[in-house]
């Protein structure tokens, strides 16, 4: 499992920002930037839609004011689902990270098998990444939402 001080693994990822989808890599996306990336089990799911993503939408300006270049929301969903979810949540400032095949999630060692819920999904967490290196990692206990929300991450900034 990835830990503070580790460099992010190099994988392909799709981004959705302000309605535009782009195929990129983690190397390109994180190079020379301060990124607050949070991950969740699935788009349109209860806690993710009612609290996790909305907190980052509400606090985006405060987070950017603290020197963050990108706020990224990672989920093991395809880019079409992530775009629809961003539209439904008014998440224009959030870079949606579509990890459809879970390549990044698995490379980070932060996957979980949710069984009938959707198979391999991401665990819930938030991390700060500076120039591709993890500087903070807040991993939630199973079925919890306490340390990875926008308010908690603002305190770390």
> What are the DSSP E strand ranges found in 104-156?
111-113, 120-122, 125-130, 133-139
Instruction: Give me the chain's average pLDDT, please.
Output: 96
Give domain status of residue 111, yes or no: yes
Q: Does the structure show a pLDDT above 90 at 136?
A: yes
pLDDT at 48 over 80: yes
Share of the chain above pLDDT 90, in %: 92
Whole-structure pTM over 0.85, yes or no? Answer: yes
pLDDT band at 114; cut points 50, 70, 90? confident
Q: How confident is the model at residue 119 (pLDDT cuts 50, 70, 90)?
A: confident
Q: Is residue 2 part of a domain?
A: no
Which residue among 48, 53, 104, 134 is the active-site one?
Answer: 48
Higher-pLDDT residue of 19 and 108 is: 108
Assess if residue 143 is contained within a domain.
yes
pLDDT at 68: 98
Residues near 108 by beta carbon (within 8 Å), at least 6 away in sequence: 1, 2, 8, 9
Range of the domain at 32: 12-152
Q: Is residue 136 part of a domain?
A: yes
- pLDDT at position 8 is 97
Q: Is 116 left (phi over 0), alpha (psi -120 to 50) or beta?
A: alpha
**Strands 70-75 and 12-17, bridge-based pairing:** unpaired
Contact 63, 28 (CB under 8 A): no
Residue 124 confidence (pLDDT): 97
Cβ-contact 6, 134 below 8 angstroms: yes
Residue 115 has a pLDDT of 76
Active-site residue 73, yes or no? no
The confidence band for 151, taking pLDDT boundaries of 50, 70 and 90, is very high
pLDDT of res. 21: 95
In a domain, 30, yes or no: yes
Q: Is the pLDDT of residue 3 over 90?
A: yes
- Per-residue pLDDT for 117 more than 90? no
Domain membership flag for residue 157: no
Is 25 contained in some domain? yes
Q: What is the CATH number of the domain that holds 20?
A: 3.40.30.10
Total number of domains in the chain:
1
């Amino acid at each position: 499992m990835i830990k503070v001080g580790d460099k992010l693994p190099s994988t392909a990822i799709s981004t959705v920002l302000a309605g535009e989808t782009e195929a990129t890599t983690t190397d390109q996306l994180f190079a020379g930037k301060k990124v607050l990336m949070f991950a969740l089990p699935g788009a349109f799911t209860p806690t993710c839609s009612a609290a996790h993503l909305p907190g980052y939408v509400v606090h985006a300006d405060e987070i950017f004011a603290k020197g963050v270049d990108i706020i990224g929301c990672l989920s093991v969903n395809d880019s079409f689902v992530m775009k629809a979810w961003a539209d439904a949540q008014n998440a224009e400032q959030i870079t949606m990270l579509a990890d459809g095949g879970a390549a990044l999630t698995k490379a980070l060692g932060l996957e979980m098998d949710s069984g009938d819920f959707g198979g391999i999904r991401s665990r819930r967490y938030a991390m700060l990444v500076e120039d591709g290196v993890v500087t903070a990692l807040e991993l939630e206990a199973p079925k919890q939402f306490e340390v990875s929300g926008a308010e908690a991450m603002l305190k770390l900034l």
